[in-house]
Amino acid sequence: SSLSLREVTREAGIAPNSFYRHFRDMDELAVALIELAGSSLRKIIGAARQRATAERSVVRSSVEAFMEQLDADQKLLHILLREGSVGSPAFKAAVEDVLRSFEEELQADLIRLARLNGTGLHEPALTAKAITRLVFAIGASAMDMPRERLPEVTDQLEQMVRMIVVGTQTMARLEGMKGAARDALKDDRSPG
């Protein structure tokens, strides 16, 4: 976000006029990069979910794929993680859109998996938001860590996500038990 147009065009090897044929300003370039980063990450996480097997859970595969992107050559994830906290209002809005998109996809996956596994799910939208925001926050702090710490961070992040999932399943089960108890009380009080 602190780069000038001249620096960008010089590094890209293009004339400033060529830049303006594609982007109105630096904000528009940054938003395009953020959208590209989000799209790229979505494909990678989607592929990780497809690769999940009985031995390697969806949670583990997805967390590993996300953390591996911190080391990827393109550094697209770095753009996404950094610009959400230090960029211009346009950058921040673009990052927020990407996060909401991840949350919506995750919510659909959580609902599908809960139905498939016969488990409950308390507040699916909030659960998806909690997981997404946690993963991105941990990712942002892990960007500057020594690479040898990433396996430990990956393990911790996987455990944190599992805690959220177990928590939402437990809350759904408790809500179901409360509902069943209320229904039983109503039945006991009915004249019969």
- In the prediction, which pLDDT does 155 show? 96
Q: Which of 8-12, 61-65, 83-87, 141-145 has the lowest mean pLDDT?
A: 83-87
Could you report the per-residue pLDDT of 158-171, keeping only the tens digit for each? Answer: 999 999 999 999 99
pTM > 0.85: no
d(CA 119, CA 111): 9
Q: Judge whether 41 and 69 are in contact, CB under 8 Å.
A: yes
Could you report the per-residue pLDDT of 72-122, keeping only the tens digit for each? Answer: 766 778 877 876 667 778 888 888 999 999 999 999 989 988 898 888 899
Q: What residues make up the domain containing 151? A: 5-189
CATH number at residue 134: 1.10.357.10
| Cα→Cα distances 115→28, 82, 108, Å | 41, 36, 11
The answer on pLDDT for 140 being more than 50 is yes
pLDDT greater at residue 127 or residue 1: 127
- In the prediction, which pLDDT does 168 show? 96
Could you report the per-residue pLDDT of 6-37, keeping only the tens digit for each? Answer: 787 887 788 878 877 888 888 888 888 888 88
Closest by CA to 164, choosing from 62, 96, 78, is: 62
The answer on pLDDT for 1 being more than 50 is no
Q: Count of domains in the chain?
A: 1
